[in-house]
Each structure stands twice: as C-alpha cells, then as structure tokens.
C-alpha cells in the first residue's frame, strides 16, 4: 500500500514506544492508530478541556495532533538510532473542528536523508460523518545517531 520501504523493520514498535514517551499526547488523551511505513494516524476524543470559546476543538490542539502524526509518519522511515524533530509546519483551517472525535493523519511526501516532507490532514467526526478541518505541510528532520529515549542535552543544538 505504501510506496516507502522502512529502513528499520521494527519501525512500528519504535514509533509506538516513542509515542508512549510523549507526555503531551497522553495529557490530551490522544491515541496512536494505524502506523505504516510513511504514514501514521492519531485520534483524540472530545473533552471540554480541548475546546476554544465556540465549543470547537482548539486550533492549537488540532495542529498538535497533526504535528505528532506527521512526525511519526516520518519517523517510521528513519534508520535505527535516530530521532525526529519538527523543523517547521504550516496549517490551514478549512472547517471548524466540530465533533466527538478528531483523526489526524500524517503521510510522507518525500523522504530525504535528513529532511522529510510530510502532508498532514485532520478530520472531525460528528454523528459518524468525517469532515476535513485542517490541512498542513510539515518539514521533519532526522537526527542520525541520537537516541529518541533520552532527554537531549548538548545535542539540542541540532540543526
């Protein structure tokens, strides 16, 4: 299904392990869905704490899910002993993020040696119908030879 070949056969475990070490994802109740080479899904259920003044999911939360989904879509293609950092992203809000559930989907467009270009989409599900509410472009960086599990020190001067 995917056009990408993972460099690390254990990519799914590696992604799931990293996700479980992102406290912010747990904090907002996000769950990791399907992980495939170059592709990743993250969902979050509605809770008041995630909304803005009009009752929609907050745009920052919407882009946070997309950022993580895009990062892990890229990370699924990285070699062993590497970690991922977001260089930049751009998001367009197309429709209000109104519903019971958000589903963010990241998909790698171009995998380089160091830089990965990733497309991100977020859908809001309301009464069983999904509406595309955000579309984004993400630039991710592969830090070769850096552990994903440790708090970065000097290596944080990364790019």
3-state secondary structure of 52: coil
4 binds a copy of itself (CB under 8 A): no
Angstrom distance (rounded) from CA 61 to CA 71: 15
The dihedrals phi and psi of 31, each to the nearest 5 degrees, come to -125, 140
Q: Is residue 137 close enough to count as binding a copy of itself by CB under 8 A?
A: yes
Q: Does 6 bind a copy of itself (CB under 8 A)?
A: no
Would you say how long the chain is, in residues? 159
The burial class, CB within 10 Å (0-12 / 13-18 / 19+), for 127 is exposed
* Binding track over 92-121 against a copy of itself, x by CB under 8 A: xxxxx-x----------xx-xxxx-x-x--
Does residue 45 belong to the site contacting a copy of itself (CB under 8 A)? Answer: no
Q: Least Å distance between CB 132 and a copy of itself?
A: 7
**Residues 56 and 91 sit within 8 Å (Cβ to Cβ):** no
Residues within the interface to a copy of itself (CB under 8 A) = 18, 21-28, 48-56, 58-61, 63-65, 67-68, 83, 85-96, 98, 109-110, 112-115, 117, 119, 132, 135-137, 139, 141, 148-152, 156-159
């Amino acid at each position: 299904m995917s056009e990408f070949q993972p460099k690390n056969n254990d990519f799914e475990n590696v992604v799931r392990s990293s996700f479980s070490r992102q406290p912010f994802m747990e904090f907002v109740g996000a769950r990791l869905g399907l992980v495939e080479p170059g592709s990743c899904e993250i969902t979050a259920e509605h809770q008041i704490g995630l909304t803005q003044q009009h009752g929609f999911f907050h745009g920052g939360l919407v882009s946070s899910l997309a950022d993580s989904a895009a990062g892990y879509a890229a990370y699924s293609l990285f070699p062993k002993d590497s970690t991922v950092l977001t260089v930049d992203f751009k998001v367009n809000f197309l429709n209000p993020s109104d519903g019971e559930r958000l589903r963010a989907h990241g998909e790698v467009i171009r995998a380089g040696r160091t830089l990965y270009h990733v497309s991100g989409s977020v859908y809001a599900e309301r009464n069983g119908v999904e509406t595309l509410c955000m579309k984004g472009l993400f630039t991710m960086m592969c830090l070769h030879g850096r552990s994903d599990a440790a708090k970065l020190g000097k290596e944080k001067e990364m790019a």
